């Protein structure tokens, strides 16, 4: 009887340790995909846009757009609406570029994410 109890305890310990190893191995460090763009979020000065490869076009006397394509990372392109401050930024997400629990898809394979300021 004791042998069965000791075997059950050992088996439980082995399974718990194995589960812990699997869970620890499956965790990945969090990487904020928006961190490279923190200087151009809505409400910030538009001056940092000078450091991005912008294709600039003007809508009217004060509103301008900066758009640029990306070759790597979760986003395929970024579009920024600004005058002297950033008004809006939009990101086009690559297929499988981000893993979100809830995402609305505007086109098959492409999700859009945008941030707007006042």
Is this prediction's pTM over 0.85? no
pLDDT of the residue at 68:
92
Phi and psi at 55, nearest 5°, equal -100, 110
Sign of the CA dihedral 45, 48, 52, 53?
Answer: positive
| H or E, element range at 42 | none
Can you list the residues of the chain whose pLDDT is less than 70?
Answer: 22-30, 99-118
How many whole angstroms from its chain centre is CA 77? 13
Q: Where along the chain do its domains lie?
A: 33-116
pLDDT of the residue at 79:
92
Listed in sequence order, the DSSP H helices in 42-108 are: none
**Which DSSP symbol is given to 7?**
H
pLDDT of the residue at 12:
80
| H or E, element range at 29 | none
pLDDT of the residue at 114:
56
pLDDT of the residue at 28:
64
């Amino acid at each position: 009887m004791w042998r069965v109890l000791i075997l059950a305890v050992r088996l439980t310990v082995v399974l718990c340790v194995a589960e812990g190893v699997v869970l620890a191995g499956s965790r990945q460090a969090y990487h904020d995909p928006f961190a490279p763009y923190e200087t151009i979020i809505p409400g910030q000065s538009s001056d940092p846009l000078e450091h991005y490869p912008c294709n600039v076009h003007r809508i009217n006397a004060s509103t301008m757009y900066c758009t640029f394509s990306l070759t790597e990372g979760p986003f395929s392109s970024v579009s920024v609406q600004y005058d002297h401050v950033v008004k809006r930024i939009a990101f086009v997400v690559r297929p499988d570029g981000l893993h979100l629990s809830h995402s609305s898809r505007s086109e098959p394979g492409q999700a859009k994410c945008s941030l707007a300021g006042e």
